[in-house]
Amino acid sequence: MVTTVKVKGMSCQHCVMAVTKALSQLEGIQNIAIDLAKGEVSFQNSKGAAAGQIKEAIEKAGYQVLPE
């Protein structure tokens, strides 16, 4: 299943790499795709990582997860 979250603050390739690195350290997060224009991060969560863990990882990287 693909999960998509809105993330504020991403503007360049460095941002893409920072968010990708943060999420890839969570178990079961795969196929991370980031759309800078839409401010969206999509990924597969095969191990069911908790939404709180995902939000925390993105926020520790310096970005804000927006409510849906």
Domain encompassing residue 53: 2-66
Domains: count for the chain: 1
Structure tokens at 17: 């790499």
Q: How far is Cα 13 from Cα 11, in angstroms, rounded to an integer?
A: 7
Banded pLDDT at 1 (limits 50, 70, 90): confident
Structure tokens at 48: 């069911």
- Res. 68: pLDDT tops 80: no
CA torsion through residues 30, 33, 26, 47, sign: negative
Q: For the segment 15-57, what is each residue's pLDDT rounded down to a tens digit?
A: 999 999 999 999 999 999 999 999 999 999 999 899 999 999 9
CATH of the domain at 24: 3.30.70.100
pLDDT value, residue 47: 92
